[in-house]
């Protein structure tokens, strides 16, 4: 017979407890995380509350009440479509890329929608370079804003908003921030690139 003994020290339990509490605190305090939409839009959720009370003698009467409140679920649902104009181009020619964003939800607005498009190109391998002055955008949501920016595709570097890279730059990401896109509304963002 083999006897196995497990030993857990108070210190390891405390470390585990602190790690779990730290994780939960980070989740509550707003560390960026993905939104989860597990419930289908249009679903009505009913929440119930019970209240019970009785008289001072507890013998004469007691009552129980049930009250409800309902919540209808509304989730933003963004679909994206991209198009190149023209779909075929010669070396040295310019191509316009347009991305359409549509919020298919009938109830909820989508906030902080970021569209990122990398302009791939290299003097060694070809590809494309950015054409300055070719940014276009519009939003069908009243009061919505579309901001453009770019970064050098370096991890953990925030984009430089409200500016654009110089003409001919390669290997940059063009970013558009659209907020909000209202229920049933759409937005479009475009930029131009040159075939190397």
pLDDT digits over 11-22, tens only?
554 555 555 555
Q: How far apart are CA 189 and CA 178, in angstroms?
A: 9
**Are the beta carbons of 143 and 159 closer than 8 angstroms?**
no
Query: Who wins on pLDDT, 35 or 123?
Result: 123
pLDDT digits over 28-48, tens only?
444 444 556 678 888 999 998
Q: How far apart are CA 112 and CA 155, in angstroms?
A: 20
Instruction: Provide the whole-model pTM.
Output: 0.67
**Of the segments 40-49, 62-71, 78-87, which one has the largest average pLDDT value?**
78-87
Can you say how many angstroms the Cα of residue 77 is from the centroid of all Cα atoms in its chain? Answer: 11
* Domains delineated in the chain: 78-195 (2.60.40.1530)
User: What pLDDT, on the 0 to 100 scale, is given for residue 18?
Assistant: 56
pLDDT digits over 151-180, tens only?
766 555 666 766 777 888 887 788 888 989
- Specify whether the backbone of 168 is left (phi greater than 0), alpha (psi in -120 to 50) or beta: left
Burial per residue of 107-137, b for 16 or more beta-carbon CB atoms within 10 angstroms, e otherwise = ebbbeebebebebbbeeeeebbbbbeebbeb
**Are the beta carbons of 15 and 28 closer than 8 angstroms?**
no
Q: What are phi and psi of 12, to 5 degrees?
A: -70, -35
């Amino acid at each position: 017979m083999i006897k196995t003994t497990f030993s857990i020290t108070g210190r390891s339990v405390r470390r585990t407890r602190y790690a779990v509490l730290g994780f939960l605190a980070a989740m509550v305090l707003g560390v960026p995380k993905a939104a989860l939409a597990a419930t289908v839009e249009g679903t009505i959720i009913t929440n119930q509350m019970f209240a019970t009370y009785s008289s001072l003698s507890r013998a004469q009467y007691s009552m129980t009440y049930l009250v409800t409140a309902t919540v209808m679920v509304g989730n933003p649902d963004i679909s994206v479509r991209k198009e190149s104009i023209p779909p075929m181009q010669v070396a040295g020619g310019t191509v316009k890329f347009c991305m359409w964003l549509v919020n298919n939800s009938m109830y909820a607005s989508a906030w902080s929608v970021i569209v990122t498009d990398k302009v791939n190109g290299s003097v060694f391998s070809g590809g494309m370079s950015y054409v300055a002055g070719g940014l276009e955008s519009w939003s069908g949501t009243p009061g919505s804003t579309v901001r453009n920016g770019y970064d050098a595709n370096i991890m953990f570097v925030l984009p430089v908003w409200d500016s654009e890279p110089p003409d001919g730059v390669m290997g940059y990401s063009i970013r558009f921030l659209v907020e909000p896109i209202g229920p049933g509304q759409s937005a479009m963002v475009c930029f131009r690139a040159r075939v190397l």
